[in-house]
């Protein structure tokens, strides 16, 4: 992944744009997470299915590199976070494994998970909280 985008001084407009973008991203991911999360653990236990999962995760990783560039055009990352780390954090915080743990194991509602993901992405990547 390329080096970090030049620092962009945060402004209320930039903050608003990245908050809207992250809310849209997470909200748009929720239906997929609801369907995919229960299957991930089964797929990881099956050698044949795991190969397809790993291929799809590679595509997701590549897509999130582009997504990080889009988000950083709206607001700069926290100074200590580079684009590669931002991609990794975004993959983790919006991933099906974490969704499954929160929903199935901890009994969080879909709305609680969605709001937590939005808040966590904004705090971890942009220092907005």
Domain ranges of the chain: 12-126
CA distances from 63 to 41, 54, 75 (A): 22, 14, 19
What pLDDT, in 10s, does the model give residues 31-68?
999 998 888 877 877 888 888 888 988 999 999 999 99
Indicate whether 112 pLDDT > 70: yes
The CATH number for 12-126, chosen from 1.10.357, 3.40.50, 3.10.450, 3.30.70, is 1.10.357
* Structure tokens belonging to residue 92: 């983790």
């Amino acid at each position: 992944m390329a080096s970090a985008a030049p620092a962009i001084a945060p402004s209320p407009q930039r903050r608003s744009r990245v908050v809207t973008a992250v809310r849209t991203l997470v909200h748009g991911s929720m239906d997929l997470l609801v369907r995919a999360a229960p299957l991930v653990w089964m797929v990881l236990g099956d050698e044949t299915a795991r190969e397809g999962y790993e291929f799809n995760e590679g595509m997701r990783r590549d897509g999130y590199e582009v997504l990080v560039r889009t988000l950083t055009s709206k607001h700069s990352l926290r100074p200590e976070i580079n684009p590669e780390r931002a991609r990794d954090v975004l993959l983790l915080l919006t991933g099906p494994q974490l969704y499954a743990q929160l929903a199935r194991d901890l009994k969080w509602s879909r709305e609680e998970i969605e709001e937590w993901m939005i808040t966590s992405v904004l705090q971890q990547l942009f220092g907005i909280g």
